Copies of this chain bind each other. A is one copy, B any other.
Amino acid sequence: MEALTSFISQITPQIAIGASVIALVYAVILIIIILKRKDGSAEMREIAKAIQEGATAYLNRQTMTIALFTIVLFIVMAFVLPQGKHNDGVLTAIGFLVGAIFSTLAGYIGMSVSVRANVRTTEAAKNTLQDALSVAFKGGSVTGLSVVGLSLLGVGGFYFIFTRYLGIPVTDAPKLLIGFGFGASLVSLFARVGGGIFTKAADVGADLVGKIEKNIPEDDPRNPAVIADNVGDNVGDCAGMGADLFETYAVTLIAAMILAASTLSAEKVQNGIQYPLMLGAIAVIATIIGTFFIKIGRSKKIMKALYKGMLITGLLSAIGFYFANQLFIGDINIFYAALVGLGITLFINIITEYYTSTEYEPVKKIAKSSQTGAGTNIITGLAVGLESTFLPVILIVVGILLAYFFGERSILGNGIYGIAIAAVAMLSTTGMVIATDSYGPITDNAGGIAEMANLPEKVRKNTDTLDAVGNTTKAVTKGYAIGSAALAALVLFQAYSEELHISAPNQQFTFSLIDHRVLIGLFLGGLLPFLFSSSCMQSVGKTAFKVVEEVRYQFSSRKGIMTGKQKPDYKRCVDIVTKSALREMVFPGLLAVLAPILVGFLLGPISLGGMLVGVIVTGLLLALQMCTGGGAWDNAKKYIEEGHFGGKGSDTHKAAVVGDTVGDPFKDTAGPAINSLIKVINTIALIIAPLIATLFI
C-alpha cells in the first residue's frame, strides 16, 4: 500500500496531464463526429457562415484588445515582482501569459465548434429531438472538455515543469502557479464583460425594434440585428462562459495547492498539494463517461437526461475520490469534505432549477404578477431575485461548516484545507456542467437558423424544446460558478494572508473586524460589485441604443427590407456592437485590475484583506440575485408564451417581455462577470502581497 501510494504520488502530475490529454483527444474525436454531420441546405450554410464570420471577427478583435493588457501586465510583472529563490517574478509572468493564452484557446475552440454545431443541430432537428440533442450536446461537450482539459493541463503541466525540470521544491511550486490563474482570470473578466455586453446589447437592440416596434418575430431574417444577436450567443454564452469556468477551475485548484503548501505538515504536504490534481484527473475521466448517458428517455424530459449524466459523473467521481483519498490522505474525513463539495453542486442545481424553471412557484409568481403590468412584473422579479440568494447562501454556509469540521477532525487537523478540498471537488465536475450549459446557445442558434431559413414548424419546435431547458441550465451554471467562486476566493484569501505572513514574518496579520482598516476595506470591496455591475448594465444600455438607431435607420432607408425584397446589412450591426462592446469593456476591466492595486498600495495590506472579503460577500449575493432573477424573468415570459395568463401577444406577455429585457443584462452581463471580478481581485492581491506586506503596518 505504502509503495503504491509513493508511486502514485510520484506520477500524479503525469496522471493529471494524461487525463487532460485524454479529454482533449476525446474533444477532437467529438469535433470530427460533429463535422461529419450534414450541414443543411445552401441557405442554411450561408446563414451559419454569417454567424461564424461575425463571431470569429469579434473574438479576434477582443483577443487583440485583451492581448494589449496582457502584454503590458506581463512586462510589469516580469520586472516588478520580486524574483525570490526561483526567479519567482519571471515564472509568475510566464504562467500569466500561458494562462491567458490557454484560456483564449479554450474560448476559440468552444466558439468554433458552436458555430458549426448550430446548423448541424438545425439539420438534425429535422429528424428527431434526440438527434438534435445529440449533436448539440456533443458540441457542448467539446467546450466542456477543452476548457477542463486545457485548465488541468496548464496547472498540472506547470507543476510538473516547476518541480521536475526546474527542481523547485513542491512546497514552493504552487504559489508560482498563481500567475497562470491570474492570466485565466484576466481573460475571463474581459471575455465575460465584452461578450456579455455584445450578446445582450444585440439581443435587446434587436428585440426593441423587431419585436416591439415592427412586430416581427424573434430571429426574423428581416431584422438587421438578427445575425448580431446569434453571434452574441456564441461569443457571450459560449466563449465568455468557457473562459469564466476555465478560470474558476484553474484558480480553485491552484488556491487549494497553495493553501496545502503553506499550512500542511512536512510529511503530509506533498500528497496534500497533489491531491487536488488527482481529484481533477479522476473527475475528467468521470465526465467523459458521464456524457455517454445523456439520452432522452421515454419521458421525453430533457432536464432528466442532463441530470442523469451529471449524477453518473458525480457518482463515478465520488468512487474515484474515495480510492484517491485512501491512497493520498488515508483519512476518511477528507473524503467527506470532498463529498460536501459534490453535495453543494447537486443542491445548487436543485435550488437554481426551483427558482428558474417554469414548473415551480417563483417563475409562476412573476408570470402572474405580469397581469397587472410591467411594474408589478419587475417588482416581483426583483423580489424573487433578492430572495433567491437565501438558500444558496445557507447551502454555502453549511458547506463551509461541514468541510471545516471534517478538515479539522482529520489527521491533517486543518479546517481550511477541508474547505479547499470541498471547493476542488465541487469544481471537478466542471466539464459536465459546461457541456449541459453550452449546448444551450447551440440550440438557440439552431432555432435562429431554422427561423431564418424558413424551415418547417417541427424543426423550430424541436430546437425550442431544447432551448427552454437551456435557460435553466444556464442559470444553474452561473449559480454553480458563483457559489464555487465564493469558496475558492475564501481559500485565496487564506493564501493571501499566509503569503503576507511569509513576506513579513515578524508581523501579525489578523484582519480583525474591530480594526477600522478592515472595515474600510470591507466597505470598498462590498462597493465594487455594485459599481462594476452598474457599469456593465449601462454599457448594455448604451450599445443597445446604438443598435436600435442603426436598425431603425436600415428599416427607414431600405423600404424593401420589411417586404423581404431587400436584404438588410447584417454586418453593420455586428460591427457596431463589436466596436461598442470592446470600448465599453475597458472601464469595468480597469476597475477590477486597479482597485486592489490602489487599495493595496494606498491603504495597505490590511485594508486590501478587508476588500477581498467584502467583494466576495456582496459579489456572491449580487451575482446570485442577478443570475437567478434574470433566468426567472426569462422563463416567466416563456411560461406565458406557453399559453398561460393570456399567452403570446397579450398585455400580460408584453409586461413579461419588459421583465425579460431587464433580466437580460442581469443574467448574461453583470451577474456572471462578478464571478471573474472576485477572482481577478483576489489573484492580484495574492500576486502583490509580497510588495505591500510591510506598508502602513
Q: Which residues of A contact B (CB under 8 A)?
A: 204, 208, 212, 369, 372-376, 378-380, 382-387, 389-390, 393-394, 396-397, 400-401, 404, 415-416, 419, 486, 490, 493-494, 497, 510-514, 516, 518-520, 522-524, 526-527, 530-531, 533-535, 537-538, 540-541, 544-545, 548, 609-610, 613-614, 617-618, 620-621, 625, 657-658, 661-662, 665
A662 adjacent to B382 (CB under 8 Å): yes
Tell me, rounded to whole Å, the shortest Cβ–Cβ distance linking A320 to chain B: 27
In the bound complex, what is the Cα–Cα distance between A353 and B180 (angstroms)? 46
How far is it, in angstroms, between the C-alpha of A524 and the C-alpha of B401 when the chains are bound?
A: 13
Whether A375 lies near B661 (C-beta < 8 A) is yes
- What separation, in Å, do the CA atoms of A620 and B522 have in the docked complex? 12
Instruction: Specify which chain B residues have a CB less than 8 angstroms from the CB of A613 in the assembled complex.
Output: 513, 519, 522
Please determine whether A534 and B387 come into contact, CB atoms closer than 8 angstroms: yes
- Chain B residues with CB below 8 A from A620, complex form: 523, 526
Task: State which of B386, B510, B514 has its C-beta within 8 Å of the C-beta of A497.
Answer: B514
In terms of DSSP, what is the predominant structure of the interface of chain A?
helix
Q: How far is the CA of A397 from the CA of B524 in the complex (A)?
A: 8
Q: Which of B373, B416, B530, B657 is in CB contact (< 8 Å) with A621?
A: B530
From B208, B397, B534, contact of A372 by CB (8 A): B208
Interface pair A204/B375, CB less than 8 Å apart: yes
Question: Nearest 4 pairs between A and B by C-beta?
Answer: A375-B661, A386-B534, A511-B513, A387-B534
Name 20 extra pairs, CB < 8 A, besides A380-B538, A390-B527: A208-B376, A212-B373, A372-B545, A374-B374, A375-B658, A376-B544, A376-B661, A379-B537, A379-B541, A383-B535, A386-B531, A400-B516, A404-B516, A510-B510, A510-B514, A513-B518, A522-B613, A526-B620, A527-B621, A614-B617
Find the residue from A531, A533, A541 having the highest chain B CB count within 10 A: A541
Name the B residues within 8 Å of A621 (CB-CB): 526-527, 530, 618
A548's partner among B372, B384, B518, B533 (CB-CB below 8 A) is B372
Determine the residue in chain B with the shortest Cβ distance to A613.
Answer: B513
Whether A380 contacts B541 by the Cβ 8 Å rule is yes
Please report the C-alpha to C-alpha distance between residue A519 and residue B490 in the assembled complex, in whole angstroms: 9
Interchain nearest-CB distance for A367 vs B (Å): 13
Task: State whether A537 touches B617 (Cβ < 8 A).
Answer: no
What residues on B are CB-neighbors of A390 within 8 Å?
527, 530-531
Partner of A513 from the list B375, B376, B379, B493 (CB cut-off 8 Å) is: B493
Q: Does A523 contact B383, Cβ atoms closer than 8 Å?
A: no
Query: Contact: B658 with A617, CB < 8 Å?
Result: no
Give CA–CA (A397, B527) in the complex, Å.
11
Tell me, in angstroms, the Cα distance from A485 to B497 when the chains sit together. 30
In the assembled complex, which residues on chain B have CB atoms less than 8 Å from the CB atom of A531? 386-387, 389-390
A520-B379 CB under 8 A given contacts A531-B390, A621-B530: no
Query: Are B380 and A513 within 8 A (Cβ)?
Result: no
| Cβ contact within 8 Å between B610 and A523 | no
CB closest residue in chain B, given A212: B373
Give complex CA distance A613, B513 in Å.
8
A353 to chain B, nearest CB (A): 19
A87 to B311 Cα, complex, angstroms: 60
Q: A511's contact among B400, B514, B516, B661, by CB below 8 Å, is which? A: B514
Is the pair B375, A523 in contact by a Cβ cutoff of 8 Å?
Answer: no
- Quick one: which of B378, B393, B541, B548 contacts A524, CB cutoff 8 A? B393
Q: Are A522 and B400 in contact (CB under 8 A)?
A: no
Q: Which residue of B lies closest to A518 (CB)?
A: B513
Q: Distance (Å) between the CB of A518 and the closest chain B CB? A: 7
* Contacting residues, chain B, for A662 (C-beta < 8 A): 375, 378-379, 382
**A136 CA to B233 CA, complexed, in Å:** 56
Residue of B nearest to A375 (CB): B661
Partner of A373 from B404, B486, B535, B658 at Cβ < 8 Å: B658
Query: Nearest CB to that of A544 among chain B residues?
Result: B376
Residue among A545, A609, A620, A662 facing the most chain B CB atoms (10 A cut-off): A662
Contact of A522 among B373, B384, B617 (CB under 8 A): B617
Closest approach, in angstroms, between the C-beta of A416 and any C-beta of chain B?
Answer: 7
On whether the beta carbons of B516 and A419 are closer than 8 Å, the reply is yes
Given the contacts A208-B372, A373-B212, A617 and B415 also touching, CB distance less than 8 Å: no
Output the least CB separation between A207 and chain B (Å). Answer: 9
Q: List 26 A-B contacts (CB under 8 A).
A: A204-B376, A208-B372, A212-B373, A373-B661, A375-B662, A379-B665, A380-B541, A382-B537, A383-B537, A386-B537, A389-B530, A390-B530, A394-B527, A397-B524, A401-B516, A419-B516, A490-B519, A497-B513, A512-B513, A519-B613, A522-B617, A526-B617, A527-B621, A530-B625, A614-B617, A618-B621
Q: Which residues of B contact A534 (CB under 8 A)?
A: 382-387
B378 pairs with A540, CB closer than 8 A? no
Q: For residue A379, which residues in chain B have a CB less than 8 angstroms away from its CB?
A: 537, 540-541, 661-662, 665
On whether the beta carbons of A533 and B386 are closer than 8 Å, the reply is yes
Query: Which of B380, B389, B512 contacts A510, CB < 8 Å?
Result: B512
- Cβ distance A294 to chain B, nearest Cβ, rounded Å: 34
Bound form: Cα–Cα A490–B530 in Å:
21
> How far is B526's CA from A396's CA once the two chains are assembled, in angstroms?
13
What residue in chain B is nearest A205 (Cβ atoms)? B372
Known: A389-B531, A625-B530. Is A376-B617 also a contact (CB below 8 A)?
no
Residues of chain B within 8 A of A540, CB atoms compared: 379
> What's the Cα separation between A520 and B538 when bound, in Å?
33
Looking at A379, A497, A524, which has the most chain B CB atoms within 10 Å of its CB? A379
Task: Pick the contact of A618: B204, B518, B526, B544 (CB < 8 A).
Answer: B526
Which B residues are CB-close (under 8 A) to A415? 516
Nearest CB on B from A608, distance (A): 11
Q: Which residues of B contact A513 (CB under 8 A)?
A: 493, 497, 511-513, 518, 609-610, 613
Are B523 and A208 in contact, CB atoms less than 8 angstroms apart? no
A416 to B530, CA, bound (A): 27
A649: min CB distance to chain B, Å: 17
Whole-angstrom CA separation of A526 from B372 in the bound complex: 32
Roughly how many angstroms separate A18 CA and B663 CA in the complex, as a whole number?
A: 56
Chain B residues whose C-beta falls within 8 Å of the C-beta of A520 in the assembled complex: 397, 400-401
- Please, how many angstroms separate the alpha-carbon atoms of A518 and B617 in the complex? 12
- Contact partners of A625 in chain B: CB under 8 A: 530
CB distance from A543 to the nearest CB of B (A): 12
